[in-house]
């Protein structure tokens, strides 16, 4: 998703971009990862690869979340050092922050307590990526930095009903409810608060960081808008963009399912004070994402995770 957003704006930058996905190389294999670096000899690396999903995937695939992410991070960072990459931007996640903490969370609070138990294996794998980058900076002065985005969404996302993140999964569910003339059933109470980042906003900031940030001075950066919204507010935007007729069909909240962590407010001012790029509003971002989803379905080029 973020890689596709970078691809869409790549023509505005003086680099030759190479986009590599899981179909090209298995990054959990050290040999496959080395083969990739041998072939492309990258000058810079933006490391976005991850085995990732929503709350319920994190709660049911604990081993895969830990092992796959630890393996690919270990291999990618090791190869970046071996091939003398000039700058590496590695992507973490705010789910790695401590569960019991004070808010807002800043870049220095990453390891101050255990993460929320609902996604601990994934969170610890991402924490190890931060520790690995820090170790290379300390021992070899490696130009490796980590970015920590809040909840990402956008075009080209993964829309699987069980494994996707919250916005794409709910877009898919809302679409099916509308098509089948049934109620739109949402897990949880809708009360948790989140900061959502539209993928092109993330992409633009990654490229700004590539050109302007020295990892030796700023080893971590949170990418987060100031605005927090409830899951209910986000669902309302999906319903509006999908033209879901609430007079004929209802939005039903199933409180028997876990809400996960109630809030994890992240302080993005360190980056925002340096890089004053605008943020896409949630309503506009969801509208663009829903429109892309509908156009993809209608054209039979189904989004990932959608099976008709």
Reading the chain (308 residues) residue by residue, the pLDDT tens digits are 999 999 999 999 999 999 999 999 999 999 999 999 999 999 999 999 998 866 667 677 789 999 999 999 999 999 999 999 999 999 999 889 998 899 999 999 999 999 988 889 999 999 999 999 999 999 999 999 999 999 999 999 999 888 788 899 999 999 999 999 999 999 999 999 999 999 999 999 999 999 999 999 999 999 999 999 999 999 999 999 999 998 889 999 999 988 877 888 999 999 999 999 999 999 999 999 999 999 999 998 888 888 87
Please pick, among 56, 122, 136, 175, the residue that the annotation labels catalytic: 122
Q: What is the pLDDT of residues 241-263, one digit of tens each?
A: 999 998 889 999 999 988 877 88
Tokens of 115: 């993460």
Does residue 40 have an active-site annotation? no
Provide the pLDDT for residue 216: 97
Give domain limits for the chain.
2-298
CA 70 to chain CA centroid, Å, is 17
Q: Are 140 and 160 in contact (CB under 8 A)?
A: no
Class of CATH domain 2-298 = alpha beta
DSSP collapsed to 3 states, the chain: CHHHHHHHHHHHCCCCCCCCCCCCCCCCCHHHHHHHHHHHCCCEEEECCCCCCCHHHHHHCHHHHHHHHHHHHHHHHHHHHHCCCCEEEEECCHHHCCCCCCCCECHHHCCCCCCCHHHHHHHHHHHHHHHHHHHHHHHHCCCEEEEEECEEECCCCECCCCCCCHHHHHHHHHHHHHHHCCCEEEECCCCCEECEEEHHHHHHHHHHHHHHCCCCCCCEEEECCCCCEEHHHHHHHHHHHCCCCCCCCCEEEECCCCCCCCCCCECCHHHHCCCCCCCCCHHHHHHHHHHHHHHHHHCCCCCECCCC
For the chain, what is the radius of gyration of the CA atoms? 19
Q: What is the pLDDT of residues 20-39, one digit of tens each?
A: 999 999 999 999 999 999 99
């Amino acid at each position: 998703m973020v890689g596709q957003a970078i691809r869409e704006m790549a023509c505005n930058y003086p680099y030759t971009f190479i986009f590599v996905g899981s179909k090209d190389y298995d990054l959990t294999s050290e040999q496959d990862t080395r083969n990739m670096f041998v072939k492309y000899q990258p000058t810079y690396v933006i490391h976005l690869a991850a085995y990732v999903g929503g709350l319920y995937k994190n709660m049911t695939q604990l081993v895969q979340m830990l092992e796959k992410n630890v393996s690919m991070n270990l291999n990618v960072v090791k190869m970046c050092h071996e091939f003398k990459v000039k700058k590496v931007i590695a992507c973490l996640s705010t789910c790695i922050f401590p569960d019991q903490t004070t808010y807002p969370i800043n870049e220095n609070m990453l390891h101050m307590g255990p993460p929320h138990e609902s996604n601990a294996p994934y969170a610890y794998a991402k924490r190890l990526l931060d520790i690995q980058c820090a170790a290379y900076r300390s021992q070899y002065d490696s130009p490796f930095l980590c970015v920590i985005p809040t909840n990402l969404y956008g075009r080209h996302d993964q829309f699987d009903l069980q494994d996707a993140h919250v916005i794409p999964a709910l877009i898919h569910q809302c679409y099916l409810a509308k098509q089948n003339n049934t109620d739109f059933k949402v897990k949880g109470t809708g009360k948790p608060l989140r900061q959502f980042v539209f993928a092109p906003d993330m992409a633009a900031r990654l490229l700004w960081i590539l050109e302007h940030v020295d990892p030796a001075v700023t080893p971590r950066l949170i990418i987060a808008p100031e605005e927090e919204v409830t899951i209910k507010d986000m669902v309302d935007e999906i319903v509006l963009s999908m033209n879901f007729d609430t007079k004929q069909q209802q939005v039903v909240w199933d409180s028997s399912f876990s809400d996960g962590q109630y809030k994890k407010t992240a302080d993005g001012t360190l980056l925002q004070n340096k890089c004053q790029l605008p943020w896409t509003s949630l309503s506009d971002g969801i509208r663009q994402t829903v429109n892309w989803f509908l156009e993809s379905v209608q054209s039979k080029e189904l989004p990932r995770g959608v099976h008709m």
